[in-house]
Structure 1
Amino acid sequence: MLDPGLPIVDAHHHLWDRPGARYLLDELLYDTGSGHDVRATVYVQARSMYRADGPEELRSLGETEFANGAAACSASGLYGPTRACSGIVGMVDLMLGDGVVPLLERHIRAAGDRFRGVRNQTAWHVAPEINSNPVPPRPGLLSEPAFRHGAARLEEHGLSLDIWAYHTQLDEVLDLARALPGLTLVLDHCGGPLGAGPYRGRRPEVLADWSRRMRLLAGCSNVVVKLGGLGMAVNGFGFERQELPPSSEQLATTWHPYLETCVEAFGARRCMFESNFPVDKGSYGYAVLWNAFKRFAARASLDERTALFSGTAINTYRLPSSS
């Protein structure tokens, strides 16, 4: 492990139990306990453990309850020092407009002081081979007046909005950020630079287009960005197809243009590292991933490293200062 004493808050992970894919608290703590000093984690919406019945708009309460249960287990201290799911980003359908208010209050009651924000499924592309959601979202959701009306209610409750969007959707994210300047938008997975489907083999062109859009988005002070989530097939790096998983050196070198652009544009205090596990677990191991981030940030100042690895996540999601 590189710099094993550096405190880390993993700003983005999921838990689920699906056919052939189990990643619950035990699996998460196995990864976070692999050698790095992971103090806390943030659970993010993943259509996990929805209620099987009842009104459709209330079914996602099951996920918040599930994540809060994992957090309660972790907070007991019986499973080690990492405080898993210290912050919870759940699912409330923002297309309900003002109708989200009683639902937000239900989620806040279900998770207590751990409920920190909402994420809807918004990553969409016309090409069918570009898909990172088990249930494809409707196109143009971020621009829908009803969605924006519902998003405005988050600010009133002190909540943030996580957004997973591909780089081709960043203009929509920019419009949303400008329309709701008081709402903190958390852009997941480096803004989704694509490398699959029609973008395969067009890396320089995509990098230039993505960089231009990200620099425009950085002009909105209410936007922060998560650095990570680049191990998915839609990014086109192909780590999941390698005979052997990549080393931390390979990851740091491959991702350097993307991570560097984000930090230069947004500043370290508006950037935070994430694992995106177990989604990215098919491409590399947890310990290797954080070594890659540490290699990238090796020349950063102490204040910058603190922000990237823990400070920005603590401030954005209002986590306990002991994280």
Structure 2
Amino acid sequence: MSGAAPAAVVTSGSYAPYRDDWLALHTEPALEPDLPIVDAHHHLWDAPRPKYMYEDMRRDIAASGHNVVATVHVDCRSMYRQDGPAELRSVGEVEFVNGVAAMAASGAYGTTRACAGIVGFGALHLGARARPVLEALVQAGGARFKGVRQISAWDDDPRLAPPNAERPPGLLADRTFREGFALLAPLGLRFDAWLYQTQIPELTDLARAFPETPIVLDHAGTPVGIGRYAGRRRELFGPWKNAIVELASCPNVSIKLGGLGMIVGGFGFNERERPPTSVELAEAWKPYVETCIEAFGASRCMFESNFPPDRATCSYGVLWNAFKRMAAGASTEEKAALFAGTAQRFYGLFAR
């Protein structure tokens, strides 16, 4: 494979090709290499997407030089069962990830507790009928199973359609979906929300309707910069910020800082001849990260790699250096929360 920049092909609002030879054109030593990190959001998958399995993540973590002590795996429609009731097929992903977590916990593959937390797909759109699905997920994941994600990202621009975008607009307000959502808190489960910045008020309404359910907004609310939103970053920043501040008024909501390397953000780093430096990433992303930290406070913010989607933009080591640069002015206590403590507390990692 050549070292040229990857083609600027957008097959969805989330993913673009990532190539090892291009990423290798820029490397950096880890900043603050001893700082403990809990990677609050990543995926493992095989075909038809470019493969990213446990061995690939182990290689990225080892090469990065960062002290990643644990990770949280979030649903990505990987390893679903091929047969059985359709609503229970997502249990296969939790079974698969729990097996990876057991491998990591053995210590035979390094010190990182990969997949120490597992977030699955719980078919909340089934309403009250989702309960046996959630119970099956809990049984499959045991103490590592922490909650569910049901993607609600939607836009009428087809260029922003996420993979497997089989969801209606306004999902979070749907009465049947909310019947399923009401099952989470009694089962001790959390909810991961992925949606676009234009939909953040929908999550605010949901959070206020269910104040006892812990919710985390993925990917800093997914600022958009492609399709009909291209070239409008300055115009769109204000509405995004206002929506983030309003959401932060809900004490049951936390936020993940990351996912800005996805193609939907429109930053275009993946189209360059060489990958970006952590300085360049920090400069581009800092307005979003700083706004989230100011709105939510370090105790409700957690950094995430969102690998492998964000691998289209930079390497694992450069990504965490960028986060550390953006958090350089934080206190020791704030850094501990941002990089590990908030994720560990929100997901109840290692709790038995």
Q: TM range, normalised to the smaller chain?
A: over 0.9
Counterpart-to-counterpart distance in 2, 1:203 and 1:93: 34
Counterpart-to-counterpart distance in 2, 1:133 and 1:225: 22
1:46 to 60, 66, 76: 76
Q: Which amino acid aligns with 2:69?
A: R
Aligned to 1:302: 332
Aligned to 2:33: 4
Any idea what SS the aligned residue of 2:180 has?
Answer: helix
State the Cα deviation string for residues 108-129 of structure 1 (Å, max 9, x = none): 1111100000001211111111
Counterpart-to-counterpart distance in 2, 1:11 and 1:254: 21
Task: Confirm whether residue 213 of structure 1 aligns to residue 251 of structure 2.
Answer: no
Counterpart-to-counterpart distance in 2, 1:198 and 1:245: 26
Task: Confirm whether residue 200 of structure 1 aligns to residue 226 of structure 2.
Answer: no
Equivalence map 1:46-125=2 (5 Å) = 46-125=76-155
* Number of equivalent positions: 321
Q: Is the contact made by 1:163 and 1:185 (CA closer than 8 Å) also made in structure 2?
A: yes
Change (3 A) 1:171 1:231: same
Q: Identity over aligned residues, as a percent?
A: 55
Task: Confirm whether residue 153 of structure 1 aligns to residue 162 of structure 2.
Answer: no
State the Cα deviation string for residues 39-65 of structure 1 (Å, max 9, x = none): 000000100011111110010010010
Q: Which amino acid aligns with 2:350?
A: P
Aligned to 1:228: 258
Task: Confirm whether residue 30 of structure 1 aligns to residue 59 of structure 2.
Answer: yes
> How far did residue 20 of structure 1 move?
5.3
Aligned to 2:322: 292
2:47 to 8, 13, 18: 18
Task: Confirm whether residue 173 of structure 1 aligns to residue 203 of structure 2.
Answer: yes
Counterpart-to-counterpart distance in 1, 2:320 and 2:41: 13
> How far did residue 243 of structure 1 move?
1.0
2:159 to 129, 142, 163: 129
Task: Confirm whether residue 239 of structure 1 aligns to residue 233 of structure 2.
Answer: no
Counterpart-to-counterpart distance in 1, 2:49 and 2:97: 20
> How far did residue 244 of structure 1 move?
0.7
Q: Is the contact made by 1:121 and 1:133 (CA closer than 8 Å) also made in structure 2?
A: no
Q: Is the contact made by 1:124 and 1:136 (CA closer than 8 Å) also made in structure 2?
A: no
Q: Is the contact made by 1:71 and 1:86 (CA closer than 8 Å) also made in structure 2?
A: yes
Counterpart-to-counterpart distance in 2, 1:135 and 1:197: 16
Counterpart-to-counterpart distance in 2, 1:184 and 1:46: 21
> How far did residue 137 of structure 1 move?
2.2
Moved more, 96-105 or 33-42: 96-105
Counterpart-to-counterpart distance in 1, 2:333 and 2:174: 39
Normalised TM-score (structure 2): 0.90
Which structure has the higher relative contact order (CA within 8 Å, separation 6+)? 2
Any idea what SS the aligned residue of 2:185 has?
Answer: helix
> How far did residue 133 of structure 1 move?
2.4
State the Cα deviation string for residues 78-136 of structure 1 (Å, max 9, x = none): 10000100000001110111112221111111111000000012111111111222334
Counterpart-to-counterpart distance in 2, 1:161 and 1:214: 17
> How far did residue 309 of structure 1 move?
0.1
State the Cα deviation string for residues 257-302 of structure 1 (Å, max 9, x = none): 0000000000000000000000111110000000000001111001
State the Cα deviation string for residues 207-262 of structure 1 (Å, max 9, x = none): 11100000000000010000000111111001111111110000011001000000
Structure 1 segments of 4+ aligned residues over 6 angstroms from their partners: none
Q: Is the contact made by 1:132 and 1:234 (CA closer than 8 Å) also made in structure 2?
A: no
Any idea what SS the aligned residue of 2:116 has?
Answer: strand
Task: Confirm whether residue 250 of structure 1 aligns to residue 286 of structure 2.
Answer: no
Any idea what SS the aligned residue of 1:129 has?
Answer: helix
Q: Is the contact made by 1:223 and 1:270 (CA closer than 8 Å) also made in structure 2?
A: yes
Counterpart-to-counterpart distance in 1, 2:304 and 2:164: 21
CA RMSD across the alignment:
0.9
Counterpart-to-counterpart distance in 1, 2:89 and 2:238: 41
Counterpart-to-counterpart distance in 2, 1:148 and 1:284: 37
